[in-house]
Amino acid sequence: MITLERLTKRYGDTTAVDDLSLVVRPGGVTGFLGPNGAGKSTTMRMILGLDRPTSGRALVGGRAYAELAHPLREVGALLDAKALHPGRSARDHLRALARTHDIPRGRVDEVLGMVGLSDVAGRRAGTFSLGMGQRLGIAAALLGDPATLMFDEPVNGLDPDGVMWIRRLIRSLAAEGRTIFVSSHLMSEMQLTADQLVVIGRGRLLADAPLSEVLAGAPTAGVTVRGPELTALSRELAAAGAVVRDEGDRLSVGGASVEDVGRTAHRLGVLLYELSPRQVSLEQAYMELTAEAVEYGGTR
């Protein structure tokens, strides 16, 4: 479990993280979202003891990272896949890490197999592609078999098969009862992976809620209507002020609820095959949540 208690980090007059309090619980995947400059990386660095908080504290399993006797056995992290010696082979990189925590050599080959790098274990890490480097970073995070795992943009550089692999891996690790904390800008991936969402902007907490609650709290994107003959319904809805788009065998209706459309269809005697709300995507819900917290916005 990760616990943040009024965590604050200032750099001169700039506040990167502002009085942030939250609990990341085991047994699920917590997505960590926010615009560029929101303070996500700084928060993760403070959890790992890489940056010192100005005030407040970050705890892993109830203790500060610096107090952990064997950190790799308790928390694994991927923050920067390039943080390794490029001249070492993938296997030697992991062996060096294992020696620092008295982790058996056999575990190195085990995690290399888990991330699909067994066949290139003898290659110098500096020759790896971005995706291969990500896999090696994930292997390093898994090396100590920790109960807590933190990943910053873990799908960077991965092809579609790799993205599906990391998604399944993260879900399986959470199912084992581990604490999984994942930062990402890919809303579609978070919608498929996360159970809980933490959203920050300008260093402050904007949301800490289950994914389903974040989506349910956002306005619907409209209503989908499908039937054999929808002309009369389309005309009536448009006359009532709804925005109706004819998509061939169906209508896309904005500005009207499912109930409004259903009552109108019933009154007109229009047969419907489908009448369903279109919920906003996580990307749309996220954009609404962070609309006032974007640090570097464009003009178009």
**Residues 141, 236 within the same domain:** no
In a domain, 146, yes or no: yes
Flag whether 190 is in a domain: yes
The domain in which residue 140 lies consists of 2-216
Considering the domain boundaries, does residue 52 fall inside one?
yes
Q: Are 148 and 254 found together in one domain?
A: no
Task: Give the separation between CA 255 and CA 226, rounded to whole angstroms.
Answer: 17
**Strand-pair partners of 59:** 3
- Whether 294 is in a domain gets the answer no
Residues 129 and 268 in one domain: no
Paired tokens of 299:
């003009």
Q: What is the dihedral of CA 226, 228, 233, 237, to 10 degrees?
A: 20
d(CA 178, CA 152): 17
Asked, for residue 38, whether it belongs to a domain, the answer is yes
Domain boundary among 189, 216, 243: 216
Residue 274 has a pLDDT of: 95
The answer to whether the beta carbons of residues 164 and 13 sit under 8 Å apart is no
* CATH number, position 67: 3.40.50.300
Each residue's pLDDT, cut to its tens digit, for the chain (300 residues) gives 999 999 999 999 999 999 999 999 999 999 999 998 899 999 999 999 999 999 999 999 999 999 999 999 999 999 987 788 889 999 999 999 999 999 999 999 999 999 999 999 999 999 999 889 999 999 999 999 999 999 999 988 788 888 999 999 999 999 999 999 999 888 888 999 999 999 999 999 999 999 988 887 666 678 999 999 999 999 999 999 999 999 888 999 988 889 999 999 999 999 999 999 887 788 888 888 887 766 655 444
Residue whose C-alpha is closest to residue 71's, from 47, 89, 93: 47
Residue 9 belongs to some domain of the structure: yes
Q: How far apart are CA 216 and CA 274, in angstroms?
A: 21
β 75-78/55-60 pair status: unpaired
Q: Are residues 180 and 251 in the same domain?
A: no
Write down the pLDDT at residue 286: 82
Residues 233 and 207 in one domain: no
Q: Assess if residue 68 is contained within a domain.
A: yes
Q: Is 173 left (phi over 0), alpha (psi -120 to 50) or beta?
A: alpha
Same structural domain for residues 97 and 31? yes
Say whether both 93 and 228 belong to one domain: no
* Of the residues 216, 238, 256, the one at which a domain ends: 216
For residues 163 and 61, membership in a common domain is answered with: yes
Q: Which residue has the tokens 């060096």?
A: 96
Torsion of CA 36, 199, 201, 13, to 10 degrees: -90
Which of 187, 216, 245 is the endpoint of a domain? Answer: 216
Q: What residue type is 248 in one-letter code?
A: G
Among residues 235, 213, 234, 230, the alpha carbon closest in space to that of 279 is found at 213
Q: Please identify which residue in the block is written with the tokens 């800490």.
A: 208
What is the number of domains present in the chain? Answer: 2
291 in any annotated domain: no
CATH number at residue 249: 3.30.70
Do 114 and 256 lie in one domain? The reply is no
Residues 6+ apart with CB under 8 A from 33: 40, 183, 184, 185, 187, 190, 197, 198, 199, 200, 286, 290
Which residues contact residue 14 at a Cβ distance below 8 angstroms, ignoring those fewer than 6 apart? none
State CA 57 to chain mean position distance.
23
Contact 37, 190 (CB under 8 A): no
238 and 195 housed in the same domain:
no
Are 163 and 236 in the same domain?
no
- pTM for the model stands at 0.82
In the numeric block, which tokens belong to residue 6? Answer: 């009024």
Query: Between helices 105-114 and 90-100, what is the axis angle to 10°?
Result: 130
* In a shared domain, residues 123 and 15: yes
